Structure 1
Amino acid sequence: MENYNDHFDERYEDAKKRVKRLKGFYSHLMAYVLVNIMIVFLNISNLKPGESYFQFENFFTAFFWGIGLLAHAVSVFGHHLIFGKDWEEKKIKEFMEKERQQQDRWE
């Protein structure tokens, strides 16, 4: 029974970490959207008559912060796409099995 509880506690802690990472990403996304909306309004209000809004300096923050946001999204959501859902656990079991086989060979 203790083994079951330990496994449950481990899974609970893992789920708790994933929720924390998700919450961090969504907070980052919300800040990105709100700040860039404010920047758009500030930039529009400072345009001279006949001047186009579509200039690089008006998208500088959104572009580079967007790269950071994309990296954050990949770190939160993308690891399952790259490594598969159970990749980490399978690798751990593989390493443990290799270590056990090496110990058996030396005994």
Structure 2
Amino acid sequence: MHPTNATMSATELDRLARRRAGARMGWYAHALVFLAVNAVLATISFSNGRHWAIYPALGWGLGLLIHGLAVWVALGGGGLQQRLVAQERERLERERSGL
């Protein structure tokens, strides 16, 4: 059984905040690779007068959407890693103190 935020130590809260921020950074990396790869595929496809690049973009886009929902809906918020860690830590501290 996992402890509630109210019973977590500062070290445990920090670890949880870092894990959540890491999950968001993983989504950012996934999105960046998605954009880069699909831009190259679209360039190749359109330069040959074809439009097949939409199919890998749609398939991968669905995976990115599911990944995003798992990260953003479950964790809420956004930002870069240090800001994410700070936000998660503040949120967890508020939950622990009952505010």
Q: TM-score, normalised by structure 2?
A: 0.64
Return the match for 2:23 from 9, 21, 24: 21
* Matching of residues 1-107 of structure 1 within 5 Å: 7-47=9-49, 55=51, 57-80=52-75
**What is the count of residue pairs matched by the alignment?**
72
**RMSD, matched Cα:** 2.2
The structure with more helix, counted as a fraction of residues:
1
Larger RCO, structure (CA 8 Å, separation 6 or more): 2
Q: TM-score, normalised by structure 1?
A: 0.60
Larger radius of gyration: 1
- Identity percentage of aligned residues: 26
Q: What per-residue deviation string (whole Å, max 9, x for no partner) do you get for residues 21-71 of structure 1?
A: 011000000000000110111011111xxxxx5x4x331100010000000
Q: 4+ residue stretches of structure 1 with deviation over 4 A?
A: none
**Unaligned ranges ≥5, structure 1:** 1-5, 48-52, 90-107
CA distance in 2, matches of 1:79, 1:27: 18
**Unaligned ranges ≥5, structure 2:** 1-7, 77-90
